[in-house]
Amino acid sequence: MVGKLTSDAKLSASLAPVLMNQSHPTYGMSQNDLMARVLNAQGRGDFNVPEYSGSEAADHGNNLEGYIITEAAKRLGIEKFNKDVTTVYDYDDLFSASLDGILFNKKMAIEASDNIFLMNGADAMILEGDGIIESKLTSASFSEVPKPYRGPWQVQMQMLCHGAKWAVVATFYQGTRLVLNIYEADLDMQNQLIEAAKDFYERLDGPDWYPAMDGADAARTWERGEDHLPSVDLEPVAEVALQYLDAKRAAKAAEELAKKLEPQIMTHMANHEMAHLKDENGEVMLELKWPTRNFKPQPEKVTPAKPARVERQKSLSIPAKWMNQ
């Protein structure tokens, strides 16, 4: 395994899913985080960018990278490969790529099997020239088609940078099953990457931020509310604003109803921790649990001092006069 080679001041293949707004729902960064990271690296900003360390499985995957590449090459019948690539490959000024490995090949036929999936949908394909291999370890269950953030966008950008016509995403699922997904260079996906990269760099000049992914993303992107600024007219997003108001009112009504109904069920349960409801066929259609929490004794604590800071809230608030109408 070779350490990080690409610069944060430029788009790189490992962040291709982020660029395409298809990053990991739990560990992934947003497009705005990516913009802030690049601006910081270019010395054009001092934005608060969270550290995205990834999952524990990904960390183990780095340690097992050599084994995964070696075993994948063996299953493909490829004897020569490089699993310690130190070269950074670039595509114009748009993005760069470092590679987990290169599979040295002239021309060979490969057939689909239980653990080899050809992503062009064919039963067999001809692999011409050297190929790229991307190593993955995941705790997720096996899937014939990797998630967008688990290789597909990344290898398409890598192929653009390197010039290879085929690539392998070698995924070790739950440390028990090694699956090889073989991709051909996809001109449509690669053109999408090129156009997205061009748009990304145009946005940097503003910066012209992307629409926020969620409340936390919005709070990181626009860190401070300026109270001297006038109220913003919501006319351009009027439909969204009214839908939001209706949703919040409905949620409030639902929460108030739940609070009213809950003690009636608790009264019926008394000291029982579990309760259930069966349908007309005797099948359980609902289970409720009223757990008991046990707290261990704690010594008295003195809260340490904290410096002053400004932090934007991650959600909007609606004045009561509008909620109660």
3-state secondary structure the chain: CCCCCCCCCCEEHHHHHHHCCCCCCCCCCCHHHHHHHHHHHCCCCCCCCCCCCCCHHHHHHHHCHHHHHHHHHHHHCCCCEECCCCCCEEECCCEEECCCEEECCCEEEEECCCCEEECCCCCEEEEECCEEEEEEEECCCCCCCCCCCCCHHHHHHHHHHHCCCEEEEEEEECCCEEEEEEEECCHHHHHHHHHHHHHHHHHHCCCCCCCCCCHHHHHHHCCCCCCCCCCCCCHHHHHHHHHHHHHHHHHHHHHHHHHHHHHHHHHHHCCCCEEEEECCCCCEEEEEECCCCCCCCCCCCCCCCCCCCCCCCCCCCCCHHHHCC
Would residue 195 count as lying in a domain? yes
In this prediction, residue 321 carries a pLDDT of: 79
**Above 60 in pLDDT, residue 54?**
no
Are both 194 and 92 inside the same structural domain?
Answer: yes
Q: Which domain holds residue 248?
A: 237-290+312-323
Are both 199 and 242 inside the same structural domain?
Answer: no
CATH of the domain at 195: 3.90.320.10
Domain count for the chain: 2
In this prediction, residue 59 carries a pLDDT of: 61
Are both 84 and 170 inside the same structural domain?
Answer: yes
Q: What is the mean pLDDT of residues 267-280?
A: 94
Are both 22 and 166 inside the same structural domain?
Answer: yes
Are both 39 and 154 inside the same structural domain?
Answer: yes
**Above 60 in pLDDT, residue 231?**
yes
**Above 70 in pLDDT, residue 91?**
yes
| Average per-residue pLDDT for the chain | 92
Are both 198 and 243 inside the same structural domain?
Answer: no
Would residue 220 count as lying in a domain? no
Are both 26 and 145 inside the same structural domain?
Answer: yes
Would residue 94 count as lying in a domain? yes
